Structures are given as C-alpha cells and as structure tokens.
Amino acid sequence: MKTNEISGKSDFNRFINFSTAIFICTRTVLSWMDRILATSLVLNPSSRIIKNIRRHVAQVISHMDSDDAVDVLDELDDLIQEKLVGLMDEESSHDIKMIQSYEDDEIGSQMTTNFIMIHKNLSIRQAMRELVRQAGENDNIGTVYVEDGQNHFYGAIDLKDLIVARENDSLEDIISTSYPYVTDHEKISDCIERIKDYAEDSIPVLDSEGQILGVITSQDIVEVVDDEMGEDYAKLAGLTAEEDLNETTKESIKKRLPWLLILLFMGMGVSSVVGIFETVVAVLPIVMCFQSLILDMAGNVGTQSLAVTIRVLMDENLTGKEKLHLVFKEMKVGFLNGMILGVMAFVFIGIYACTLKGNPTAHAFLISGCVGFALMLSMVISSMVGTMVPMFFHKIKVDPAVASGPLITTVNDLVAVVTYYGLVWLLLIEMLHLA
C-alpha cells in the first residue's frame, strides 16, 4: 500500500473496490498471461519483453489490496507467483507472503493490510492529520484503529466520531476499547458465527501478542460466510468440500462414489424390509399410495434436526445435559408438528379414500387414521435420529456434517417404512381385521 509513480494509491484502490468488472477482467488477463509467461520462461527466460511484462504485472498486483492480490496470485502457476512477488516492493511482498503463510481455514488468510492505525496519545488535531496522511496509502478509513505504547491493539474510533470531535476534546473519550477482534490463527469455522453478528465495517486481526496484523472487512465477512455455507451444503451431500466447476470428472467421482456405495447397500436393506411387508400390501393395496408421504416427511424432519444439531455442536463447551435437552426438544418439536400434520392427513386422506377410491367411510377413515398416527410417530423418531446420529459422530471425533448427511435420509426411510407398515399390520390387519 504505497504511493507509486503511475497513480495515487487511494485512487487505484477505489478503482479496484468499486469496479468488479475490471477486477474480473484483470484476473482473466493474468490467467492468460500465466500461460504465456510459463511458455516463454521455458523457451527464452532472459527475454527482455518477458521481463518487462513480468515487471508491469507485478506492479499492477502490488497496487491491489493485499487480500485481492493473494486471490489473483493463487490462480497463477507457483513459479510465476514466486517471480512476480520477487519483483514487488518490500512492503507489498511482505504483506502478500504474510497472508499466504496462513492455512486456508485460518482467519488470517482472509485479512487485508489496508487499514488506518494511530497512537492513543495523539490529540484530536494530530489524529486528523495522521488520518489524512495515511488515507493517501489506505482507503479503508471508516474505522480508525488505535494502538498503545507497546504497539498493542487498544481500540477503535468511528470516523464520524473523529470528524465531529472538537479540537479540545480528548481522543480517549471517543475510543471504543471494547471493540471486537479475532486472532490470526483462529479457524474460520470457529469464529464465523461470532464475527458475522458484529455490525462493524471491519474487524481487526491480532497476533498472539495483541498487535494488529490486518483487518477483515464486511465484504470479506460476506465472502467467508458464503464459502462456509457452500462447504456445509457440500458436506450435507456427502462431499468433503464444495466442488469446483473446474474439478475433473475423476475427482468428483472419487468424492461421491464411496458414500453412494454405502447408501446403495443401505437402500438394499430398506428394500428388503419393504419386502417383509408384502403380505400387508397384498391385503391392503391402498396403503402403498401413502408410503412416499411418510418417507418424505420423515426425511425432511430428520434433515431439519440434523442441521440444528450440527449448528449447536459448533459449541465445544456443550455439556451432556444440554445435549440431552436438545434431543428432547427436537423430539417435542417433531411430536407437535407430527400431531398437526397427522390430523390433517387423517382428514384429507380419509376424504380422498372415501370419495375418489370408493372405500366405505369407516374403512377410509380407519386407514387415514393409521396413516396420520404413523406420520406422527415417524416424525418423532426421525427427530431423535437426526439429533443423536450427529452427536454420536461428534463424540467419536468424526465430522458430523460429512458423516451424518448421507446417512440420515436412508436411516429415516428405514424408520418410516418399519413404523408405517408395522402399524398397518398391527392396527388394521391384526386388531381391526380390515382384510
């Protein structure tokens, strides 16, 4: 973030921040340049033209915000990255290397070094003067960060408060010393829920000694949340990570096939259970019409409980009592929802069986009553399964999102089949003798 011979840093950054189209084009051009440079380096590594191109590309990247520069460099070949970073000025090179040193799942990998920092002992006039001086190099000025005498993060000042402050006011009075922050090696998954609740335009990233290394802007937070949601959705589908559009067919197959094989054999088990109830279907064929209703609702309820449980399990300090409370809560929700839907199923399926299928009224409503009761019971059991399965995987140190997602639907299908046909056999055939 320095003044350069072509244009002012502030102007360049504004251009980058407000022109998404230009940014995308830059990445596309650089990707194209990557192929040209890679070929040229092999054929003629000392070419003056290639050196000039490389130098100008490095200059363009060095004028970007450090996090954007890292994103662009990540799309280039490792050899080209190394040469371009080596051509940048010392400060830009240092910032980029620092961000690249973090693992992709650490919050430090998402920060930018574009921020304003002042000392807490300055007067209002001195603080304004320092703000103006640094604004020529850094345009992220909505929040001004403050450090103490040991270069430790002390707090933050809202730009508006600094502007409206009178000259004889104390800077200390407008510093928010309780301003939120994150540490550089924190896992994104651990702090994402916390930082997205902050209503700040940026959040400082500190090292282990409390010194500010960079900031996470509101735009960065949105991107991180989007990436995390994409990964969570992928996990619920049985994938280890969100699949990229450029991923090869072979890689996609390797990700998906193991879980599909597991589900194949589990599905065969469900089909075998259905086969056990062939006599029930032969005696009361109409019950086949409502099988998908029971299966779908049980699967939906189980998936809802799974999502809630995975979200709750992010809290590593969750006690056994709290986990037990969650299980009973989800079962209670499943019971109440099941009771409402069961009553509706009793009424509407009874009318359907009576009017459209021509069954006697008593016969029709006995069937619909069994369907409604089976629906309620399967929803309660599915809520319990959807809660306890991810808890079990979490207990044995297996990611519940990856392990639970592909299993819940199949397990709940099994639960729904046994519940539904078991009740039909017990209530309608054995007890009421409707056959």
Query: Residue 45 is encoded by which pair of tokens?
Result: 């590594």
Inter-residue contact 65 to 76 (CB < 8 Å): no
> So what's the pLDDT on residue 18?
41
pTM of the model as a whole = 0.52
Interval 318-337 mean pLDDT:
89
Domain 249-431 has CATH 3.30.160.110: no
> So what's the pLDDT on residue 13?
45
> So what's the pLDDT on residue 1?
43
How are the residues of the chain apportioned to helix, strand and coil, as percentages rounded to the nearest 5? 70, 5, 25
Inter-residue contact 221 to 390 (CB < 8 Å): no
Interval 8-36 mean pLDDT:
48
d(CA 226, CA 263) in angstroms, rounded, equals 29
Q: Among 128, 421, 392, 382, which Cα is nearest to 273's?
A: 421
> So what's the pLDDT on residue 5?
40
> So what's the pLDDT on residue 415?
84
Q: What are the sequence ranges of the domains in the chain?
A: 9-101, 116-236, 249-431
Who contacts 87 (Cβ-Cβ below 8 Å, separation ≥6)? 54, 55, 58, 59
d(CA 381, CA 374) in angstroms, rounded, equals 10
Q: Residue 238: is its pLDDT beyond 80?
A: no
Tens of pLDDT along 176-234?
Answer: 988 989 899 888 777 776 776 776 778 899 998 899 998 888 777 767 666 665 555 55
Inter-residue contact 324 to 331 (CB < 8 Å): no
Domains 116-236 and 249-431 share a fold: no
Domain 116-236 has CATH 3.10.580.10: yes
> So what's the pLDDT on residue 347?
93
Model confidence at 435, pLDDT cuts 50, 70, 90, reads low
Q: Residue 243: is its pLDDT beyond 60?
A: no
Q: Residue 107: is its pLDDT beyond 60?
A: yes
> So what's the pLDDT on residue 175?
92
72-81, 83-92, 162-171: which is most confident: 162-171
State whether the Cα torsion 305-311-314-317 is positive or negative. Answer: negative
243-247, 286-290, 345-349: which is most confident: 345-349
Nearest 5°: phi and psi at 200?
-100, 155
Model confidence at 168, pLDDT cuts 50, 70, 90, reads confident
Q: Residue 113: is its pLDDT beyond 80?
A: yes
Interval 365-392 mean pLDDT:
90
> So what's the pLDDT on residue 34?
54
> So what's the pLDDT on residue 22?
47
Average of per-residue pLDDT values in the chain: 78
Query: How far is CA 346 from its chain centroid?
Result: 40
Count other Cβ atoms within 10 Å, centred on residue 375: 30
Which residue would you say has higher pLDDT here, 51 or 146? 146
Tens of pLDDT along 28-67?
Answer: 555 555 555 555 544 455 556 666 766 777 777 767 777 7
Q: Residue 154: is its pLDDT beyond 90?
A: yes
Model confidence at 16, pLDDT cuts 50, 70, 90, reads very low
Tens of pLDDT along 250-306?
Answer: 777 776 777 778 778 877 887 887 788 888 888 888 888 888 888 888 888 888 888
Percent of the chain with pLDDT over 90: 16
Q: Residue 240: is its pLDDT beyond 80?
A: no
Count other Cβ atoms within 10 Å, centred on residue 394: 22
Inter-residue contact 92 to 1 (CB < 8 Å): yes
Which residue would you say has higher pLDDT here, 222 or 109? 109
